[in-house]
Structure 1
């Protein structure tokens, strides 16, 4: 069975299938901030959505981080390192990509286990 969470016309905020939760790419609300603050904002959004599903960041098995500019890698990691659960870091990839909104410095997509 597939369950769609907060489905919209173009995408769902999350999809649950086969014991996994696939979150859509999350983007910052604070577009006037630096990469560290934008990353912290996105991670807080991930926390909130996972909590709504009865999960937390320790359930995350995979993360893909998209940076508009790889020069922000260390700034992004400043927020990431404060957030990631000690001893429970997920598999992760970080790539540079042109994001849909030029004010976004980061977009993060995660997969979690139920």
Structure 2
């Protein structure tokens, strides 16, 4: 049986299984900020988790991006394009959905190699 590392309470912030990192949904803490700032903050949290787990942006395999309103798609993409490793882009999907908090504008779920 392989070793599984879990970091979190109700739901793990991330799980490591063998050489794969699964990062749970990351959102901004400052929900008064606009979409660009929320995207930057959430991706900053992803960066910290990647480092803690022994990975980095070059090893991101897939990303699910959720936005509250598709009208924010272009602005979200501008921030994503600044963050993502353009030499090693992951598979990606994006959708709009009702968020857990109405002030939340963006959430990201990542899978990465270690």
> TM-score normalized by structure 2?
0.93
**Structure 1: how far apart are the matches of 2:49 and 2:95?**
23
Distance 1:46 1:85, change over 3 A: same
Deviation at 1:16, TM superposition (A): 1.3
How much is the aligned-residue C-alpha RMSD, in angstroms? 1.1
Matched, 1:93 2:88: no
What is residue 4 of structure 1 aligned with on the other side? 5
* Ranges of 4+ aligned residues in structure 1 off by more than 6 Å: none
Distance 1:40 1:54 in 2: 21
Mapped to 1, the partners of 2:12 and 2:56 lie a distance apart of 19
The question of 1:83 aligning with 2:83 is answered yes
CA distance in 1, matches of 2:30, 2:47: 16
TM-score computed with the length of structure 1 as normaliser: 0.93
Residue number in structure 2 paired with 1:65 = 65
Task: Write the deviation string for residues 53-95 of structure 1: whole angstroms up to 9, x where unpaired.
Answer: 1211111000000111111101111111111112111100000
Matched pairs, number: 113
Stretches of structure 1 lacking an aligned partner (at least 5 in a row): none
